[in-house]
Amino acid sequence: MADMTDDIRDALEKQIADLKTEMAGIRKSVASRVNDAEDTFVEVKDRAKDAAHHMRHKAHAAADTIRDNPGTSATVLSATVILGFLAGLVVAGMREPGSHHRR
């Protein structure tokens, strides 16, 4: 009976040792992934900050251009609205006559 108890104890100790080894590997893997995620977050944050700075600079440049050239800006905006309206008419005209949606 003592031999069987010793065998069971040895088997359990081996399983515990194997589990400890596996847990150490998992901890190492998780730590590596956390470090990778932190690095990626810092990189994305820096890129977003650079993009925001760039967009702010471009917005100021556009505002300055509009302020310096109000007539040209009004013409460009009017032309954009007209082209959008015409594009809407073309798309609406391309619809088949029987495809009107009713609610």
> Rounded to whole angstroms, how far apart are CA atoms 5 and 92?
85
Task: Look at residue 100 in the predicted model and tell me its pLDDT.
Answer: 56
Compute CA distances 86 → 56, 73, 80, 101, whole Å.
Answer: 32, 20, 10, 21
**Is there a domain that residue 50 lies in?**
yes
Domain extent, residue 60, equals 1-70
What is the arithmetic mean of pLDDT over 39-48?
Answer: 95
Q: How many domains does the chain have?
A: 1
**Burial label, 73 (beta-carbon count in 10 A; 0-12, 13-18, 19+):** middle
Task: Look at residue 17 in the predicted model and tell me its pLDDT.
Answer: 96
Task: Look at residue 38 in the predicted model and tell me its pLDDT.
Answer: 95
Does residue 93 or residue 55 have the better pLDDT? 55
> Rounded to whole angstroms, how far apart are CA atoms 53 and 78?
29
**Is there a domain that residue 76 lies in?**
no
What is the arithmetic mean of pLDDT over 42-56?
Answer: 95
**Is there a domain that residue 30 lies in?**
yes
User: pLDDT of 13-33, one tens digit each?
Assistant: 999 999 999 999 999 999 999
